Amino acid sequence: MSRIEQLLSQMTLTEKLGQLTMTASGYAVTGPIIVGDSTDSIKDGSVGNLLNMVGPGPTHEMQKIAVEQTRLGIPLLIGLDIIHGHRILFPLPIAEAASFDPRLWERTAREAAKEGAADGLAMTFAPMLDVSRDPRWGRTAEGGGEDGWLNSRIAEAKVRGFQGDDLSSKDALAACAKHFAAYGPVNAGREYAPVDISERTLREVHLPPFEAAVKAGVETIMPAFTDLNGIPMTAHVPLLRDYLRSELGFDGVLVSDYNAIGELIKHGVAADLVEAATLALKAGVDIDMMADAYRKGLPVALERGLVTMDEIDACVRRVLRLKEKLGLFDDPYRRGSTPEAPQALVDRRALAREVATRSVVMLKNEHDTLPLPASTQRIAVIGPLADAAYDMCGCWWAAGEHEPNTTVLAGLRAALPAAQIEHAAGVPILEDERSGIAAAAALVDNANAVVLCIGEGVRQSGEAASRAYPELAAHQRALAQAVFERASARGVPVIVVLFSGRPLVIPELDAKADAILAAWFLGTEAGHAIADLISGKASPSGRTPMTWPRALGQVPIFFGQRPSGRPMNADDFYTSKYLDVSNEPLYAFGHGLGYGRFAYSDLRVIPERVTENDTIRVTVDLVNEGKRAAEETVFLFMRDKIASVARPLLELRGFTKIALQPGERGSVEIEVAASDLRFLDAGLKPVFEKGEVEILVGPSAEREKLLVQTVRLV
């Protein structure tokens, strides 16, 4: 008999339910319920998993109790959110997505896993794979933006990074693909609100990232808090059992979100914890995080015959198997026993700086304002986010102690030691207090350039941070206005460094700033990265993974929309448009400028006649016509113009990068599996439909900038 079967045969119901329970330690508060000391519950086997505990000391202390003082000595599974780095913070996921670099996505997850594991953890609740097309939704910050195909590539990289090659090794963490599924399209962008989307949108956009995670071997999945078309995800039998377990063959652990089983009562599908626990168990949720519904509800449910011991055993088996795969039975103290070498920290910081530099998206750069000429002697660094070390973290880091962040002010001072740099915040980040505006704007008089650091505060994005007005606060707008007026009167360029966890609606900034850097939140190395770009040490190379609306009324706005029977025509009243704003976004998906200027030519697509098993090779030539070395991100889209169901105007199917010196020519090749040109037919079954398909290649989803070749599917 295997170790797991042997254990299972000896376990009491209390011990079994303990293995299905995950309790917070109170180290990091990540939800509305805080519990006290779990030591006694660990001792009697009624708690088998912890979250929000971190550090070799506390984790090993608890582990010792589980291993040495419980009847069966089953080790604990200890997990924590590692959303964008652990002690050293990397850019927010939405920012990192902008780097369009799978190698970096994987490396940051690997490094975060090493840090987390060195802190005694064996599991992380990441990556978040929820596609977001609505900047009002605060958790946009935690994901990879608006596209399902892109999020699938992120999913693969992150799962590989967190889990490494060998899950049992001392630096590997079990990853958790969350939140399954379609949490992004919450109604009107309001956190935890219900979700109503079509089966087609679900399958085309929101499920593929989870499928990619499962194919990459993700060990755990977390159902979303939300309901989908009336069924809460925590109790969603068709998606959890039929799709995940049966269709995809996922046999890992399903861990509920924080108190989500208990919340089935407020969703209105369960009368009490007994019913809630029954629903979740029947859907195949293995671990109850923080609701205590399994411990309280399942004994009664068993008695009433609502659930069977076999159903409980199936969950326990999966949890024990995960612990076994993580190597916890063989050596429960493996993680957290070897302190990392000091050099690891130095290298990780260097990586954090590289990723941060690559995550910034230069939205605008009129008259080549950036990089600042070396002759710039006097710089006014204005705004409440210029010297805001804490806010640089970006939302949602769970490890309490983190490395100190660099600010824009400190970064610029270090990068430009000869420049005279003056600073005034002008206004606070959140509070509408305007008395400092005049003095801050007065700094413009003595400056050759202004760096204006404005945007959201650290807690204005992330969980429970939906905003009906995702834009600059009025008092920050007043500061910007005062600075623009003063600067334009004196011919001083204004560079806006915009911080946010989401695209903001910023038509005024776009109209008035000379340059705009979307810095999102970049983590520990924020200030150095921004200074590297402003000073020209590096060229901006980030591309926005989400469309920026010019008006909130355009939301949801995304490149993958389907056509209309009456496409927009300015000369025809009865076409698809607004009376008061254009259809075009402020910045398209993929938009992002650099210090080079790339021209594309000669798109080649081989073969021209494509069968389902072919690999399509797409090549395009580029030349850097600018004056500086730079890196270009090349996007590949497809468009199936005539098909049995209406297909999106553009579908992302590839991207790659090329770095070129000024005047240098080069070419890139992107391979696309022909099977990736399939779509779901009217019955939602994948088909490779014969006919013409356009392959479009270029710098962003702006249609006019794309080169096009047509292939024929045969």
For ligand BGC, the closer CB: 181 or 711: 181
For ligand BGC, the closer CB: 93 or 493: 93
Which residues belong to the active site? Answer: 257
Cβ 368 to ligand BGC shortest distance, Å: 42
Q: Could you say whether residue 461 binds ligand BGC (CB under 6 A)?
A: no
Q: Could you say whether residue 194 binds ligand BGC (CB under 6 A)?
A: no
For ligand BGC, the closer CB: 125 or 329: 125
Cβ 392 to ligand BGC shortest distance, Å: 22
Cβ 325 to ligand BGC shortest distance, Å: 21
Cβ 79 to ligand BGC shortest distance, Å: 8
Q: CB of 152 within 8 A of CB of 198? A: no
Residue 658 DSSP one-character state: E
Q: Could you say whether residue 156 binds ligand BGC (CB under 6 A)?
A: no
Q: Could you say whether residue 158 binds ligand BGC (CB under 6 A)?
A: no
Q: Could you say whether residue 178 binds ligand BGC (CB under 6 A)?
A: yes
Cβ 375 to ligand BGC shortest distance, Å: 48
Q: x/- string (CB under 6 A) for ligand BGC, residues 241-260?
A: ----------------xx--
Other CB atoms within 10 A of residue 369 CB: 18
Q: x/- string (CB under 6 A) for ligand BGC, residues 5-44?
A: -------------------------xx-------------
- Comparing every residue's Cβ against ligand BGC, the nearest one is 30
Q: Could you say whether residue 132 binds ligand BGC (CB under 6 A)?
A: no
For ligand BGC, the closer CB: 29 or 374: 29
Q: Could you say whether residue 631 binds ligand BGC (CB under 6 A)?
A: no
DSSP per residue over 387-452, as a string?
A: T-TGGGG-S---SSS-PPPPPHHHHHHHH-TTSEEEEE--S-SSS---TTHHHHHHGGGG-SEEEE
Phi and psi of 670, rounded to 5°?
Answer: -125, 130
Q: Could you say whether residue 125 binds ligand BGC (CB under 6 A)?
A: yes
CA-to-CA separations, 383 to 150, 353, 470, 511, in angstroms, rounded: 34, 23, 18, 19
DSSP per residue over 574-637, as a string?
A: SSS--SSS-SS-SB-TT--B-SS-EEEEEEEEE-SEE-TT-EEEEEEEEEE-SSS-EEEEEEEE
Q: Could you say whether residue 463 binds ligand BGC (CB under 6 A)?
A: yes
Residue 693's contacts (CB-CB under 8 Å, 6 or more residues apart) are 610, 638, 639, 640, 641, 677, 710, 711, 712, 713
For ligand BGC, the closer CB: 398 or 605: 398
Residue 338's contacts (CB-CB under 8 Å, 6 or more residues apart) are 118, 170
Size of the site for ligand BGC (CB under 6 A): 9
CA-to-CA separations, 67 to 43, 165, 256, in angstroms, rounded: 9, 26, 25
For ligand BGC, the closer CB: 53 or 494: 53
Q: Could you say whether residue 81 binds ligand BGC (CB under 6 A)?
A: yes
Cβ 257 to ligand BGC shortest distance, Å: 5
DSSP per residue over 516-576, as a string?
A: EEE----GGGHHHHHHHHHHTSS------SSPBPSSGGG-S--TTPPP-SS---TT-SSSS
For ligand BGC, the closer CB: 27 or 587: 27
Q: What would the 3-class secondary structure string for 409-420 be? A: HHHHHHHCCCCE
What's the longest Cα–Cα distance across the chain?
83
Cβ 258 to ligand BGC shortest distance, Å: 4
Q: Give contact residues for ligand BGC (rule: CB under 6 A).
A: 30-31, 51, 81, 125, 178, 257-258, 463
